[in-house]
Structure 1
Amino acid sequence: MSEVRLHHLNSWCSWCGEFSRHTLFKKHGSGRATFLCSSCKLLTAQCRYCDSMARAVIGDDGKAGDECQTQVWHGELCAEHDGSMPNFTKATAKILELGEFKYLMRPRRKNLVGLANGNGPGAGEASSYLAAPGIAVALGGSYWRARHDASHEDLLASASLTKVGSGELGIIAAAGAGLGGKAGYGLANAYLKDIPDYHFVLKRTSPEDRGHRVVMVNGPLSEGDLDAHDWCDGLTEHYRDASLWYLNWEAKALRRLGGLLTKTAAGAHTSDILFRGEKGAFNPWQSAMLNAEKAGALLAEAISRTENRTFTLMGHSLGARVIFFALLALASKGPGRYVRDAILLGGAVDSANELDWRTAAASTAAGIHNCHSEQDSELQWLCRKADAGFAAPAGLVPVPDAGSGIVNCNFSDLVERHCEWKANLGAVMNRLARQRQSLALREREVSQAKPFPVEAFR
C-alpha cells in the first residue's frame, strides 16, 4: 500500500531514535507524505531505502502546528542509512567487556550518503554528530536547519582548541540521554569516523578477577612500545586482581609523533614537520590533541555501557588527555560510579583550569594522581609550539590549589624526559603505593584519635 494512503506507521524515528507510531500529518501532491512521531512530536517521512523514518521539517521550528504551512525539506535517508546512527536497536545496549564496544558500534546498514539526492540533514555526513537521534531532538529543528550546512571540521576549528571537548560534551548534556543513551551513541559514531582504528585490546587477565579493569592509554609511541608491553611490564606486581586493557587510538599519528620526538626537540627539522600545517588547519600535534578529546568521549561512552565493572584509568602524555576528557564526560553520571581512580603521567592537559580538574576528580571514587616532572622540558616545548592555549601542562607542574580528589606527585628525581615515564612505570607505581599507604595511615590515625578533653580549656 502506498505511504500516502496510510494514516499510521510504526517504525524507527531518526529524530529521537524510538520505535514509535507515526501519524499522517500532511499529504503532498508530488513527493512523500509527512508524518508526526508520537514520541518526540517532530515530523518524519519514510526513508527512500527502508521502512524507517527520515527527518522532515515543515515551518520554522520543525514541529507540527497551525503555523506550519511551508515545506522546508524532507530528508531522503533515515539515520542508519545516512550514517548518523549505527543501529537503532543497539542505541541503549550494554556490554560485558570493553572489547565488545567495536561490535556495538558496527553499522547495521550501508551508509548511502551521496547516493540520494536530498538536501536535509541526512545528506551531510560531516554533520552527523549533530544529526544523531537524541541530540537532534534536544537542539530542535530550527537550530539544526541553521547548522546542517556547516561541516564538522568548520565547527571544531571555530572553537578554542582546549575547549572543543568540553563544548561538545555540553551537547551530550543538552540532549538529555547523554552517555549510554542515544545521544552518546550518535556522538560516538561520529567520532569513530575521525578515529577509525579505535578499539580495546585485552593484554592480561586475572585468575582473581573481581570485576575491576585497568585501561592503559598511550601518547606518542616509539618503536619499542607498539604492543603495550611496557605498560604490562611496569604493572607486573600491581593490579593482580584486575584485567589489563589497552586502548588503541590514532596509532599511526602517535607513531609519527613518537618518531619525531626522538630527534632533537629544538631541531629545525622536527619543528618544521611537527608544527607545520596548512593555512587555517591544525598542525599534527594540535590534531592529535583534538582527537584525544574525542577519544576521551569515546572512552566515557564505552565505560558507561560496561556492566558490573569498575575502572582504573592510566594514561601517558596525550593518553592522559584522553583520560581527562573521559572523566569530564563521566562526571555527568555521578561521583565514582564507574572509575575508582586515574593516574596521569606527563599529562598534556592544562594545569590551571581548577573547575575542570575538580569536575574530573568528582567522577572518581579515589581521585586523580597527577604525576609530573619539572625536568620534562619536551612537554613544555610541545605545548608552547602547538599554541595549545596553556603554558603550564599538568605533566610539568602540579595542579595549583588542588582540592579533594587531586594528588600531585612530583617525579622530577626519576623522570628527566617525556619518553621515560613508562620505562620507570614500576618505580612510579611503587612510590604511589607507598604514598597511598601513608595517606591511609594518617587518615586512620586522625579518625581514631580521642577528642581533646573539654576540661583542658577550663
Structure 2
Amino acid sequence: MFSKLPWTNKDSNDSSQPSSDSDESLTTILSTSNERSQLTLLIATCAESMRHRITDTFTDTEPLDTAHQPDNDDALHNPDTDISEDGVNALDAVKEHERRAAELYEPKTMELKEAALADFDAWRDKVFQRVGEAVDLQEEVKEQKEVKRVDTKGESHTQSRLSSQTVAGGKPWVPMEMDVGVNETMVKLYPQTPTPLSELPEEKRALVLHSILLLLLSLEHYVSYSRILLLRLTTSLKLDMDLLAEDEGKTARALLTAALQEMNADGEMKKKKEENKETRHWKVGLASVAGAALIGVTGGLAAPLLAAGIGTVMGGLGLGATAAAGYLGALAGSSVLVGGLFGAYGGRMTGQMMDEYAKEVEDFGFLPIWQSNKTADTGKTADTEKDNRRLRVAIGISGWLTDQDEIIEPWRVLSPSIEGFALRWELEPLLKLGNSMSIMVKSYAWSYARREIIKRTVFATLYAGLWPLNLLKVSRVIDNPFSIAKARSEKAGEVLADALVNHAQGERPVTLIGYSLGARVIFKCLIALAERKAFGLVESVVLLGAPTPSDSADWRKMRAVVAGRLINVYSDNDYTLAFLYRSSSIQFGIAGLQAIQGVKGVENVDVSEMVSGHTAYRYLTGKILQRVGFEDISVAETEREEKELQEVRAREEAERQEKEKQSKPVDEIAEEEARDIERKAEQKSQETLMSRATENLSLNENGEGVRRGTK
C-alpha cells in the first residue's frame, strides 16, 4: 500500500508548489487545505446518510392507515365484502401494525441490525483512513468520524434530520413516480449534500469523483457500499450519472489492460504449478484470457504493474501515472488482485467453479448476456473479454420458459454499461410451467373466468376462494408444474446466495432482477444472505410479480442486505398470479399483488395499468425498469420487447375469438381445453429438451457458461 503519496509531503497550505511529477492529483485539484477538508466532510456526511438508511430499516414510524379501511364491526361480521385495496380489512390492519411493532424488538431482528451496522462501520473506517492518507488530513478525518459517531448515538444530527424528510408521513422511503429519468431518480434517492465543491469546474469535479473511485478500489474490493457512496458523491457534486458509469467502464478496461500486459498466462500457470506442488493452494479458472490459466494464490503476488503502465492505459481519465498507481495502492501491483476483483477476469461465473453449485440443483449456471467479436477457434478473444468486463454485475432471472432462448432474451434490455448475466436454473420444470401457463392464458376458459373474477376484484376472489368452476377444470394443467418449480426456486435461491458469498462475481457489487419465480429465487437468496450476515454484496434488487409473502419480517431482512434500491413491482390485476398462489398461505399477503408496508427503503411500484396478466412481465421488464429510472437500460432492446408483446397479445386474442365462435357450453370447452393444454405443453417442453440435448451444450465447450443436463 502507498501509505504516503509523494505529493503530500509538501506543506498542505502551499498550493504554489508543483507535484513531483506534474501529475494531477487530489492535492493539485483541491489546492487548498480548506477544499480538501470540504471533501472529507462531504464523504463523512454521505457515509452518515448511508448509515442512517440502515437504522431506518429497523424502525417503524409508519402510522396505521385506516382511511380506506371499512369499519371493524363490519370486518368481523361480513368478511366477504370488507376487502380493501391492499387486500386486508381494518381488523387485519390493526393486527399487522401491532405485529410489526413487536417484531422490531425480537432478538433476531436486533442481532441483524447490530451486524449490519458493524459491517458498515468497518467499511467506513477503512474508507476514512484511505481518504485521509490521500489528502494528508488523517487527523481531521478522524475527528470528523468521531463527531459523526457521537451524533449517531444522539439521534439528533443534522444529516439524520435531512434524511428523515424523505420518509416522513409514513410513506415508502421514496414515493416512486413513473417515467422519471435516471438522474432525477438518483437525486430523489440520494439527495444532494450541500458542498462548496459543487461550484468547482466540471472537469475538476469529475477528477475528484475518479480519484475517490480509485481510492475505493485500493481497498481491494468494490462492495455495494462503495458504489452507493459514489452515487451520493455524484449527485452532491452535480455530475451526470452517465459520467460515473463511463468512468467505471474505463477504469475496468484500464485495470485489465495493465494486468494482462504484465501477465504471461501460460508461463504463470507453469510457474505456480511448480511452486505449489508440495503446498495446499486453491485454483481459479481464467476464462479464455490470453489462454486458460491457473493462479495459485499462496505462491505470492504476480509481477508488479508499473506505475507508468497504469498511467498509460488510464490516459484520458485525467490523473497522471503516479497518482493513479498511488491511489490504487496494492491493486496497482498485482495481476492476482486485479483478477480477484473481477472474479478471476470473469472466469468464476462461467468456469468450473459453477460445477460445484450445479451439484446442488439439477441445473444451475450463469450465461453472459452479451458476447461479440468471437473468433473461429476459441469463440472469444482476450480483447473481447477485457471489453466486456465491468466493475458491476447484474444477474437476470427468468421465472418460466417456453423456449431455451428465454433464459437470456428478457435480459438483453440491460445495457453493456453493466456486466450482465442470466441465471439458468431448473430448465425442465420451468419449461413445463411456462408452456402450460402460456397455453392456459390463451384459452377461452381462462378468458371467460377472468371476466367473472373482475366482477369481484382479485383480492375478494383470492380470500374467499370464489374461483369459477370452469377455471378449476383446467387447474390440474398448471398446479403441478407451478408447485414443482416453486419448490425448486427455493433451493436455487440458496445456491445463488452461496455463490455470491463465495465471490463467484469477484469483489464487485451485484444487482439482481427477476420476474415471477425468478423473483422468488432472489427472495430466497436475500433471506439466506441475511441469515448468514453477508452484507455489502448486493447493490440493488428488482422483483417483478413476485410469488412471495409480503410480510414485513422477511422484507426487513432483505432490505438489510441490499445497499441500494429494493423495488417491489406489483399489479393488483395479476389474476394469473393470484390463481397460481391460491393454495399457498396468503395470511401475509402476496408481494406481486400489493405494496410492502412497514419497511422503510422498499420502493413499491404499482404497474396495474400495464400488467393485466402474469405472462406480461416477460415482455415488460425493460419498460418497467426504464419508467422507474433504473440504470443500465437499453432503449432499443426495450422497444423491441414491447413490439414483441403486442404481437403476442394479438395472437392470443385471435385464438380466443376463434374459441368463442364454437357453440359448445363453456364447461365442455374448458374440459376439452384442459386435455389439449396438457398435450401441447408436454409436447413443446419435450421438443425443447430434445433440441437442447442434440446441441450437446456446445456453448459450454466455448466457456460461455456452465450447463448441466436435466435429470
More helix by share: 2
Provide TM-score, normalisation by structure 1: 0.50
Q: Return the structure number with greater strand share.
A: 1
Higher alpha-carbon Rg:
2
